[in-house]
């Protein structure tokens, strides 16, 4: 099963073990109907958590009551964890306003071929940057209209047209 990161647990809400999820799905009507989410408790270990109750606070925050999370202490232990949906769940939601999260995607360059796995994303003023694990090195690549050639969500493939010389800066040390 493949997964797409949709957000992160940012803290607790209330006294009964509810968690706050900051998400990137925008105003997606189907959010209220989610039955479960996956939380990455350990690297690439996606554990299903069933939802007892869901409250959509705004287009970036959800308050979730998860089964078997009944105390604030239990909820706090989930704080900072990444939240995922299966690719199938994500496609059913069909979020119109969502930013695709490329973490875990396999990055390819038109010239160089297969690069490696997208490990991190971070924003700087004006653009999104990705850290790509290429062998035992990291490449920081811009993600924008000029560099993204295609995205295949089901196979988690990201095809890029990187600026000339960018890979040399990182890989020829």
**72 and 34: one domain?**
yes
Task: For residues 10 and 88, state if they share a domain.
Answer: yes
pTM above 0.85, yes or no: no
pLDDT in tens, 50-103: 999 999 878 888 999 999 999 999 999 999 999 988 878 887 776 655 566 788
Higher-confidence position of 30 and 77 = 77
**Mean pLDDT throughout 16-31?**
84
Residue 110 belongs to some domain of the structure: yes
Q: Give the CATH number, domain containing residue 159.
A: 2.30.30.240
| Same domain, residue pair 51 and 111 | no
Please indicate, yes or no, whether residues 30 and 89 belong to a single structural domain of this protein. yes
Give residue 26's Cα distance to chain centre. 14
Range of the domain at 43: 3-93
Domain count, the chain: 2
């Amino acid at each position: 099963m493949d997964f797409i990161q949709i957000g992160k647990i940012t803290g607790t809400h209330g006294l009964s073990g509810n968690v706050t999820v900051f998400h990137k799905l925008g105003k997606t009507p189907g959010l209220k109907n989610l039955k479960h989410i996956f939380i990455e408790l350990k690297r690439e270990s996606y554990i299903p958590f069933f939802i007892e109750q869901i409250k959509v606070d705004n287009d970036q925050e959800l308050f979730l009551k998860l089964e078997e999370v009944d105390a604030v202490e239990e909820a706090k232990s989930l704080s900072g964890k990444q939240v995922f949906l299966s690719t199938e769940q994500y496609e059913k939601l069909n979020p119109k306003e969502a930013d695709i999260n490329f973490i875990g995607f396999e990055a390819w360059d038109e010239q160089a071929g297969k690069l490696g796995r997208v490990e991190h994303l971070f924003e700087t003023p004006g653009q999104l940057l990705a850290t790509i694990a290429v062998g035992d090195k990291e490449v920081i690549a811009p993600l924008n209209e000029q560099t993204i050639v295609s995205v295949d969500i089901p196979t988690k493939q990201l095809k890029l047209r990187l600026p000339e010389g960018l890979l040399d800066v990182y890989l020829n040390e």
